[in-house]
Amino acid sequence: MFTENLLNNFGVYKTIDQPSKAYKRFSEVLRDIPDPVIDNVGLVEFIARGYFFSDRTLLKDATKTRWDHFHSKPHEVFLQARSRPSDFVDPKQIAMQLKESLCAELLEFCNKKKRIILPLSGGMDSRVVAAVIRSLIDTKDLGVEVVAFTWGTSCSRDVRYASEIARLLKFEWMHVELSPEDLYKNIAISAANGLEYSPLHLHGAHYLRSLKGYDGIVVSSYGDSIGRGRYSGRHISSLRMFSEIIDRYGLIEPRGIVAIRAELNKDLYVFRNSQDFRGGGCDEEINYQGHYMYRLINSVWAYVNEELEVFQAFTSKAVVEYMLNLSPASRSDWPYFHILDSLNKELLSVPWSATGGLYPNGRSRDKYKNFVAPYGSWTRSELYGEIVKLINTSSLIEHPLFSRGAIASLLAYLKRHEIEEANYKTELALWFASFAVFLGNNKAVFNTDNLDFNRNRSLRHKFRVSTYEFALRSKTKLNSLL
């Protein structure tokens, strides 16, 4: 039976001059734009949120297919689910239905495949998908060969737990140890793909993309949002509508934001303005799906999909419709627990990488790292000189949109940052390095329309950096005491 898919879309690029022509890769767009101009609206959006909004791209004359313009019309399912029921549904009942729908979508994708890659972390989404695939193999519904794949440093929870999960499921396990060289390589990859994401979000994607002898990849990025009702760790019960583009770290000249405020708001409210918005229900999820999940998460996997077919689990219409029409309280961690309990109880004995404890409520009981790689340390030490060189030798720092000295202050912060893991400032610094590479490799120019003002050194930025650093250090110290 054909399972209609709603969210497994990677989008295409188009140009303003040739709107009917679709481009799978950003590099193809560049070849058809003789005089590319950087889009200031896109710059501000990315610096504020870490991804582009709506159909915005890095260039004024290029767009990317909007989330609600696909033939599957994913937004319509979200709109129909606006009137969420308040009744609580038994997690065991949800587990049965979710497992059945996952079986159907995974069976359809894997059925004619001989060999697939299964990215496996120490989290729960990929663990559930792996358990479902193993059950389909054990019942002879699938004859596919599965190779589990994990990237990260050997001392990370993801690597430690994934190896044990693969052993329990009797899957071959492949591990790639990430290094500073991989992060540096990702700077160039981000630049070549239109700066859709910070380099650290790529992790070891270039290894996956280069694998030979496989028929596809099954990933579980939508498990958090669809399966458990969480977006960047925040449950749907506490999601808020995107209401304003805020320059949290004082990088943008305030008058520059004023000059493009109307365009920023147009992108910010694109789904609210284009649909029958009434507030409540799934409207918040529409924003996160259309902007965050599609423009950031799926853009990373689009890079892999260029060479090897990627399938996102939890994206069939059956899964999405069922989960969206549950009350927020029903979309919890417990259905996963009951799925694993029914398929392989031993999987519940492997801690959850998010907490280091047993799922769902166990307290941490290990000393492994709760991040994939020490990107914070690498940007402060091994890569710092190269990052500074890339940025300071580019035309980036002279762009009038940026507060004078703001990028220099950001780089100085990196050097002082003594925490191993990355934070959003690490993301931004790496993205600026990719931006510098992009400017060096292409003839793109900055758009200075309405930016003819004198810039002053940004004391506002220095204050925000200091405040942010103090808060971060305090949080780290507090966590170490708990």
Weakest-pLDDT range from 34-43, 76-85, 209-218, 264-273 = 76-85
Buried b / exposed e across 192-229, counting CB within 10 Å, b at 16+? bbbbbbbbbbbbbbbebbebeebbbbbbbbbbbbbbbb
Judgement on whether residues 162 and 221 belong to the same structural domain of the protein? yes
Q: Kindly report, residue by residue over 400-415, the tens digit of the pLDDT.
A: 898 878 899 999 999 8
368 residue type, one letter: Y
| Structural contact between residues 194 and 46, judged by C-beta atoms closer than 8 angstroms | no
Residue predicted with more confidence, 83 or 322: 322
Q: Can you name the residues that pair with 219 across neighbouring β-strands?
A: 312
User: Between these two residues, 338 and 419, which has the higher pLDDT value?
Assistant: 338
Q: Are residues 299 and 385 in the same domain?
A: no
Q: What is the pLDDT of residue 248?
A: 85
Is 70 exceeded by the pLDDT of residue 465?
no
Same domain for 379 and 466? Answer: yes
Mean pLDDT to the nearest integer, 353-373: 93
Answer yes or no: is 358 within a domain.
no
Same domain as 440, residue 333: no
Is 362 within a domain?
Answer: no
What whole-number distance in Å separates Cα of residue 427 and Cα of residue 197? 9
- Is the pLDDT reported for residue 279 higher than 60? no
Higher pLDDT, 424 or 460: 424
Residues 49 and 132 in one domain: yes
The residue range of the domain holding 449 is: 375-481
Residue 480 has what pLDDT? Answer: 43
Buried b (16+ CB within 10 A) or exposed e, 46-59: bbbbbbbbbbbbbb
Same domain for 414 and 345: no
Residue 48 domain-assigned (yes or no) = yes
Do 336 and 395 share a domain, yes or no? no
In a domain, 363, yes or no: no
pLDDT (0 to 100) of residue 478:
46
- Does residue 365 lie within any of the structural domains? no
Residue 276 has pLDDT above 60, yes or no: no
Give 107-157 pLDDT, tens digit per residue. Answer: 999 999 999 999 999 999 999 999 999 999 999 999 999 999 999 999 999
Number of domains in the chain: 2
Work out the mean pLDDT of the chain and round it to a whole number. Answer: 90
Query: Could you tell me what percent of the chain has a pLDDT over 70?
Result: 90
Asked if residue 381 and residue 295 are part of one domain, the reply reads: no
Question: Is 21 among the domain residues?
Answer: yes
Residue 310 lies in a domain: yes
pLDDT score for 450 = 73
The confidence score (pLDDT) of residue 110 equals 96
**How would residue 73 be classed by pLDDT, with cut points 50, 70 and 90?**
confident
User: Beta-carbon neighbour count of residue 275 at 10 Å?
Assistant: 16
Report pLDDT for 397: 84
452 has pLDDT over 80: no
pLDDT range class, residue 474, cuts 50, 70, 90: low
Domain closes at, from 332, 349, 366 = 349
- Per-residue confidence band for 221, with pLDDT thresholds at 50, 70 and 90: very high
Beta pairing partners, 172: 147
Same domain, 24 and 73: yes
How would residue 160 be classed by pLDDT, with cut points 50, 70 and 90? very high
pLDDT of residue 134: 98
Reference 420, options 385, 381, 465, 375; nearest CA is 375
Same domain, 328 and 382: no
Confidence of residue 482 (pLDDT cuts 50, 70, 90): very low
**210-236 mean pLDDT:** 96
What tokens appear for 46 in the block? Answer: 């990315």
- Per the DSSP assignment, residues forming a β-bridge with 62 are 15
Retrieve residue 216's tokens: 């596809």
Q: 401 and 261, same structural domain? A: no
Residue 154 domain flag: yes
CATH (domain of 239): 3.40.50
Is residue 207 domain-shared with residue 256, that is, in the same domain?
yes
List pLDDT tens digits, range 345-362. 999 999 999 999 999 999
Query: Cis link prior to 36 (omega < 30° from 0)?
Result: no
CA separation, residue 126 to residues 110, 161, 340, 447 (Å): 15, 12, 12, 43
Question: Residue range 280-290: average pLDDT?
Answer: 80
pLDDT of 208 above 60: yes
